């Protein structure tokens, strides 16, 4: 494990921002579940596009447009390679939220009264609100599979909710508030046995572990570039080709068409049918560079590095007085906790004074926090460039938090 740790912490030199100070202290960036930092390779790929071949795609018959088109399409291939998808199965969106909304608008609006959508109680608002609103419009019903006090899904309850009425099951692969890992492969099998579609919100898994669309066996996977070393404003919706072919576009306009008359429109082939208008070209190119970077390191190495850090952090936090850690034993690199009765925002503000960036609050999972009886938590989340020394600094700073509020 020491080898993995040293291999990955060596990557720190690629991240210019990690060299800065915050409040006079070296930055310890432990807010990776919110967004990750970007390596020089990604920043340079974006600059290279604007400096050398900035042009619109799929339109111009000129050299710059051809180069931009090739790079944009190559980014789709890289994203497909990352999760073992086929050509045409990768749609670029703005982010995970837009990917899930695309599904809600396209498939969700075909639901009828009596149809059911099954979610879990631990969903991020992005995988809850779109379905809740679609259910209101279509008079279908949303059901929530229970999680226990550690944030782990109750599979028996989940199974009891999935019936012949279920049309869609949607769940996070890794939950962002507590880091629980859902058995999405088994969930997909249960969904399919009742004829329902399986949607996986992989915003917190694809950046941190090997994910294979075929091994998960689900129909749709959503994730964001900005959480995996890439730029903001670009995300992915993977869809099983046979399902995407049946679906209606979500946005209409340029580039998503094959032929238009005043009366009729023939839609473009996959994936362009779902990518209306000028897309985020520089974002896609930067995202492609981020995927190259992650693949060179290997997502299995990223995962074992984060697991080592998480084990270390859990042990270290257990030694701290008054620190209550939430979430299951088996978890991703996300640790939610509170310090006595200190408000999470106050704790995060003191950590910031020490140069430590964490997230505090409800983590866009308000119903889950309410169910757990929490006003919020402090959340530390790790990535490939984090070190044990940063975890040591977090633990020491928590001691200060405790003393300030004693
Ligand atoms: N969670 C967090 O701090 P976007 O914002 O569209 O890229 O991702 C939305 C999203 C969807 N699902 C899960 C499981 C997520 O964690 C997130 C983003 C961030 O936890 C920002 S709220």
pLDDT digits (tens, 9 = 90+) for 64-103: 999 999 999 999 999 999 999 998 999 999 999 999 999 9
- Strands 220-224 and 197-201, sheet pairing: parallel
> Is 104 exposed, middle or buried (CB count within 10 Å of its CB: 0-12, 13-18, 19+)?
buried
What's the 150 CA to ligand 1 centre distance in angstroms?
Answer: 20
pLDDT band at 10 (very low <50, low <70, confident <90, very high): confident
Q: Whose CA is nearest to atom 21 of ligand 1?
A: 34
Report whether 158 contacts 120 (CB < 8 A). yes
Ligand 1 site, residue 31, Cβ cutoff 6 A: no
Report whether 377 contacts 46 (CB < 8 A). no
**Buried b / exposed e along 313-342 (16+ C-beta atoms within 10 A):** bbebbeebeebeebbbeebbbbbbbbbeeb
Ligand 1 site, residue 240, Cβ cutoff 6 A: no
- From CA 300, how far away is CA 155, in angstroms rounded? 27
Report whether 163 contacts 115 (CB < 8 A). no
Q: 181 φ, ψ to 5°? A: -105, 120
Can you give the pTM of this predicted structure?
0.98
Ligand 1 site, residue 222, Cβ cutoff 6 A: no
The helix (H) or strand (E) run that includes residue 297 is: helix 281-297
Predicted confidence (pLDDT) per residue in 201-260, tens digit? 999 999 999 999 999 999 999 999 999 999 999 999 999 999 999 999 999 999 999 999
Q: Which domains does the chain have, with CATH numbers?
A: 2-29+298-405 (3.90.1150.10), 44-296 (3.40.640.10)
Indicate if 218 belongs to the active site. no
Quick one: how many helices (H) and strands (E) in the chain? 14, 17
Ligand 1 site, residue 32, Cβ cutoff 6 A: no
Among the listed residues 170, 202, 364, 391, the single catalytic one is 364
């Amino acid at each position: 494990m020491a080898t993995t740790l040293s291999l990955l912490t060596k990557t720190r030199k690629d991240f210019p921002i990690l060299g800065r100070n915050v409040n006079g202290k070296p930055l310890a960036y432990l807010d990776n579940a919110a967004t990750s930092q970007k390596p020089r390779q990604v920043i340079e790929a974006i600059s290279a596009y604007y400096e050398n071949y900035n042009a619109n795609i799929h339109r111009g018959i000129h050299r710059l447009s051809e180069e931009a088109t090739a790079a944009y399409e190559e980014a789709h291939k890289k994203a497909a390679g990352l999760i073992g998808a086929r050509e045409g199965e990768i749609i670029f969106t703005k982010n995970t939220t837009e990917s899930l909304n695309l599904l809600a608008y396209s498939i969700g609006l075909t639901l009828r009264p009596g149809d059911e959508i099954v979610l879990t109680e631990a969903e991020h608002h992005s995988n809850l609100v779109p379905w809740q609103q679609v259910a209101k419009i279509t008079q279908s019903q949303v059901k929530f599979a229970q999680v226990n006090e550690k944030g782990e899904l109750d599979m028996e309850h989940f199974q009891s909710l999935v019936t012949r009425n279920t049309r869609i099951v949607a769940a996070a692969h890794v939950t962002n508030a507590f880091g629980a890992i859902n058995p999405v492969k088994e969930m997909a099998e249960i969904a399919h046995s009742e004829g329902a579609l399986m949607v996986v919100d992989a915003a917190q898994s694809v950046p941190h572990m090997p994910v294979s669309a075929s091994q998960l066996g689900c129909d749709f996977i959503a994730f964001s570039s900005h959480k995996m070393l890439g730029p903001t404003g670009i995300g992915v919706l993977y869809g099983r080709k046979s399902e995407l072919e049946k679906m209606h576009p979500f946005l209409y306009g340029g580039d998503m068409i094959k032929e238009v008359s005043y009366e009729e429109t023939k839609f473009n082939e996959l994936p362009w049918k779902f990518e209306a208008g000028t897309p985020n070209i520089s974002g896609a190119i930067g995202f492609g560079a981020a995927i190259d970077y992650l693949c060179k390191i290997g997502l299995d190495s990223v995962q074992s590095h984060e697991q080592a850090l998480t084990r270390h952090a859990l042990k270290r936090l257990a030694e701290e007085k008054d620190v209550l850690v939430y979430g299951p034993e088996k978890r991703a690199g996300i640790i939610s906790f509170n310090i006595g009765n200190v408000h999470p925002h106050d704790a995060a503000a003191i950590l910031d004074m020490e140069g430590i960036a964490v997230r505090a609050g409800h983590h866009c999972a308000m119903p889950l926090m309410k169910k757990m009886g929490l006003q919020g938590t402090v959340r530390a989340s790790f990535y490939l460039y984090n070190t044990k020394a940063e975890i040591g600094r977090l633990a020491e700073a928590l001691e200060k938090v405790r003393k300030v509020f004693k």
